Amino acid sequence: MIRALSTPAAIAPGTVSGSPQPRLPATGNLLLRPWESADIPSFLSAYQDGETRRWHTRRPSTETQVREWFDAYRQDWQQERGGHWAIAGDGDETLGRIALCGLNFDDGVAGVSYWVLPAARGAGVASRALSALTAWALDEIGFHRLQLDHSTRNHASCRVAMKSGYLLEGVMRSAAVHDDGRHDMHLHARIRGDCADR
């Protein structure tokens, strides 16, 4: 890859792929861990849920497709494009998903996305997972900015972002297509040095 930047990369290539994808503990006995074959039924069931489907137009419909997604997740890590974790609870029960995507090592910027299975909603699972992933990405890997977006109609996702210190930066008008048409999107970001409780 040819780099012609006048500034050094914020994060050195190999920082992610040089080590196995980590298992990240979160408060409340949560663990962020790589996806495993045993998670396929839970992962597939998430995309049968009406609330998940409302906000995600890209969704698997068969176990074979889920296996392909898990393979792509492993490749993303190896090629430093992203990291995808299962959010696991007591007894290694799958509670949700969280991901770091669109890794830009030159500028030190990445995106974040998440969802939680219906039975785990309302218990702070997403915000605790997001806080753990954020601390790892900013403090250990060295990202400077993490950002996420969600439909302005997705109030639950907005609460998760704000609770985890992701400040609302503005509205991106008509920026995404959902099953019911175009949606305005909130853009949130957390910068290294921000206080989580702002």
Per-residue pLDDT tens digits for 173-185:
999 999 999 999 9
All residues at 6 or more sequence positions from 88 whose CB lies less than 8 Å from its CB, including other chains: 30, 31, 32, 33, 94, 95
Which spans in the chain are helix H? 40-46, 50-55, 63-78, 125-135, 155-163
Which tokens belong to 161?
């972002």
Distance between CA 53 and CA 57 in Å, rounded? 7
Note down pLDDT in tens along the chain; length 198 residues.
566 778 899 999 999 999 999 999 999 999 999 999 999 999 999 999 999 999 999 999 999 999 999 999 999 999 999 999 999 998 899 999 999 999 999 999 999 999 999 999 999 999 999 999 999 999 999 999 999 999 999 999 999 999 999 999 999 999 999 999 999 999 999 999 886 544
- Residue 42 in any domain: the answer is yes
- Residue 188 in any domain: the answer is no
Order of strands, sheet of 82-88, starting from the edge strand that comes earlier in the sequence: 24-26, 30-34, 82-88, 94-104, 109-116, 145-151, 181-191, 167-178
| pLDDT, tens digit (0-9, with 9 covering 90-100), for 31-58 | 999 999 999 999 999 999 999 999 999 9
In the chain, the percentage of residues whose pLDDT exceeds 90 is 92
- Residue 41 in any domain: the answer is yes
Distance between CA 99 and CA 112 in Å, rounded? 6
pTM check: above 0.85: yes
Distance between CA 70 and CA 84 in Å, rounded? 9
Count: domains in the chain: 1
Please report, for the domain that includes residue 100, its CATH number: 3.40.630.30
Which tokens belong to 145?
């900015």
Range of the domain at 89: 24-143
- Residue 180 in any domain: the answer is no
- Residue 45 in any domain: the answer is yes
